[in-house]
């Protein structure tokens, strides 16, 4: 029997939880886009909609990149050749694999922090859209768009995380 190490198991589960959080954020972006469709069209609404379409794209791209990195870790020909059979461990053991998975998990710490911030941002927008569409159009959208592009520009942060991960 060939078992994965406990460290690897925990790291994989954290990576998958991070990816699940990306998908949950995308689902909330879908909710925002649907709610924005219920109100009158404004310039700010178009800009907010475009911002969140791009953010969702970035989250999907991050998940695709993480999957690609995990695939490369598990099936790279160099790694397969280096695997050592250790009967006392119940089969093949690859410490480099475990280290690589843990390294990937550690590289996602910035992403986890940004996910929390994006979630709060989406909460505020959904709250306004649920409260009163007229209020959202007249008083909320302009300030919110300024906030998401200037004060809380998490899209730029996501893009930099994606670029950094693509280089590794």
**Residues pairing with 93 in the sheet:** 84
Share of the chain above pLDDT 70, in %: 87
Phi, then psi, of 84 in degrees rounded to 5: -115, 135
Dihedral sign (CA 41, 45, 47, 52): negative
Q: Is residue 1 in some structural domain? A: no
What per-residue confidence (pLDDT) applies to 122? 97
Q: Burial level of 124, CB count in 10 A (0-12/13-18/19+)?
A: middle
pLDDT digits (tens, 9 = 90+) for 98-126: 889 999 999 999 999 999 999 999 999 99
Which range of residues forms the domain containing residue 135?
Answer: 6-167
146: domain CATH number?
1.20.140
Q: CA nearest 29: which of 11, 10, 47, 52?
A: 52
Query: What is the tally of structural domains in the chain?
Result: 1
What per-residue confidence (pLDDT) applies to 84? 59
């Amino acid at each position: 029997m060939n078992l994965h190490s406990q460290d690897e198991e925990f790291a994989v589960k954290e990576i998958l939880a991070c990816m699940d959080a990306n998908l949950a954020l995308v689902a909330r972006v879908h909710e925002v886009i649907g709610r924005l469709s219920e109100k009158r069209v404004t310039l700010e609404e178009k800009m907010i909609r475009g911002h969140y379409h791009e953010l969702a794209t970035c989250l999907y791209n991050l998940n695709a990149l993480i999957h690609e990195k995990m695939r490369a870790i598990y099936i790279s020909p160099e790694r397969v050749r280096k695997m050592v059979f250790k009967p006392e461990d119940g089969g093949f053991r690859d410490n480099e694999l475990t280290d690589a998975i843990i390294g990937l998990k550690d590289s996602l710490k910035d992403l986890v922090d940004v996910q929390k911030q994006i979630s709060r941002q989406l909460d505020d927008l959904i709250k306004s859209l649920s409260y009163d569409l007229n209020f959202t159009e007249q008083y909320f959208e302009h300030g919110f768009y300024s906030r998401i592009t200037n004060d809380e520009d998490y899209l730029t942060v996501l893009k930099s995380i994606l670029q950094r991960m693509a280089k590794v």
